[in-house]
Amino acid sequence: MAAAGSNVGEEVLQNSARRERKRRSRRRSREQDPDVRLSKALSYALRHGAENLGLHMSSDGFVDMGEILRLPQFKAWSEEDVKRVVETNEKQRFALCRHPSSGRLQIRANQGHSLQVPELELTPLQTLQDFPETVAHGTLLRHWPAIRQRGLSRMGRTHIHLAPGLPGEGAVLSGMRNSSEVAIIIDIPKALADGISFSRSANGVILTPGNADGLLLPRYFSRALQLQPRRSLLPLE
């Protein structure tokens, strides 16, 4: 029996290692795509690096396109390239608009900031009727033991990101990476009753700052679902 259990354990580890190798291979392939590289550069500049890069960001998170394109790291791209990336991004990570006075084209990240953006376009979610049936956070299996003990953390950002559903339930799912191996389903009634606040970003991601320490504690987890290689419930304790 012990030998059989050992063999099963080894098989699980081997399968996990194979999945990780495939994931890394896909990631390397994607990172060679110019549009993916542009999207990543925009994400850094608009979510985290605007101040360090000397960009002038408005209180609602918009930056002039001209300022972005004048940076050395964007010299390989044009305004048309940025427009294409914004328009084709399945998760709608960015938004474009014209400045109301100057008419200059501007761009914003819809969520994911570590920078403080006081007037970011967020819709408060205050009653159960404001929420979808399922609200979940996606993560990798190796992170689950720590999350199960300590809860979800903002990890240097202004919010914890949650998805309005599970993979495979409908359209492209904002708020959860495609590589997620675990979905943690949130007990929204319990969290609301304890005063945890929630909002929805312009691209549909559900956001929460968590508690005073920036955490969404394990008592707000209703269940945890392993997504890959096949779906199964994980123990909460």
Q: Give the tens place of pLDDT for each residue, 200-230.
A: 999 899 999 999 999 999 999 999 999 988 8
Q: What is the predicted pLDDT for the residue at 10?
A: 56
- What is the 3-state composition of the chain as percent helix, strand, coil, each rounded to the nearest 5? 35, 20, 45
Q: Which helix (H) or strand (E) holds 33?
A: none
Q: What is the predicted pLDDT for the residue at 171?
A: 59
Q: What is the predicted pLDDT for the residue at 172?
A: 54
Pairing status of strand 122-125 against strand 232-234 = unpaired
Q: Give the tens place of pLDDT for each residue, 43-62.
A: 999 999 999 999 999 999 99
Taking residues 138-159, report their average pLDDT: 95
* pTM: predicted TM-score of the whole model, two decimal places: 0.75
Q: What is the predicted pLDDT for the residue at 8?
A: 44
Residue 199 in contact with residue 206, Cβ under 8 Å? Answer: yes
Q: Which two tokens stand for residue 47?
A: 């979510």
Q: What is the predicted pLDDT for the residue at 223?
A: 96
Q: Is the pLDDT higher at 2 or at 32?
A: 32
Q: Which helix (H) or strand (E) holds 100?
A: none
CA distances from 129 to 125, 137, 164, 184, 228 (A): 9, 20, 13, 20, 31
